[in-house]
Amino acid sequence: MNKETSFAREAAEWLLVIAISAVLAFCLDKFIIVNAKIPSASMEPTIMTGDRLIGNRLAYIKNDPQRGDIVIFLFPDNEKEYFIKRVIGLPGETVSIRAGKVYINDSEEPLDESAYLTVTPLGDFGPFEVPEGAYFMMGDNRNNSMDSRYWNRPYVYKDKILGKAWARYFPHPKTVH
């Protein structure tokens, strides 16, 4: 084998590796994970402005989103945008916010959100009657979050949820809760 044949063979092998890698990356991004960048302070301090997340697209294949899950979804008022919020209201529930506290189905006790809220939320909103197959979303930084309380279309349908937030990979890796 001469040098030209050897070089051509090595170049072809590299091109094959690059093509296979590109196809695998495309399939991974379209079917397994969703990549998202946090543009605002609406989820602070759980997720900080500028963080980059990986979401699991397979998380809700057999299961439904649960209250408290952080999900990546298509924004109902502009489906070209990805949003990241916490699931608060489940299908068929009525969500009311009184003096900043969330009440589900007119419960006497507010939702216990002490695990992720660090601000004292303000305001009265609702009631919001969550349709079947849809979810009511709120940010953790309630006083600085454009969420279901303010959207023209306040509910996110399950087929618009792209994935469950799984891990932050930039700037500092950590699991998202």
- 107 catalytic per annotation: no
- If phi > 0 it is left, if psi is from -120 to 50 it is alpha, else beta; for residue 24 that is alpha
Write the CA distances from 85 to 28, 88, 93, 133, 139, integer angstroms.
23, 9, 18, 17, 5
Instruction: Answer for the pair 98, 124: CB distance below 8 angstroms, yes or no.
Output: yes
Q: Which of 85, 96, 148, 164 is catalytic?
A: 85
d(CA 32, CA 27): 7
- 80 catalytic per annotation: no
Q: Which of 6, 37, 42, 96 is catalytic?
A: 42
Active site members = 42, 85
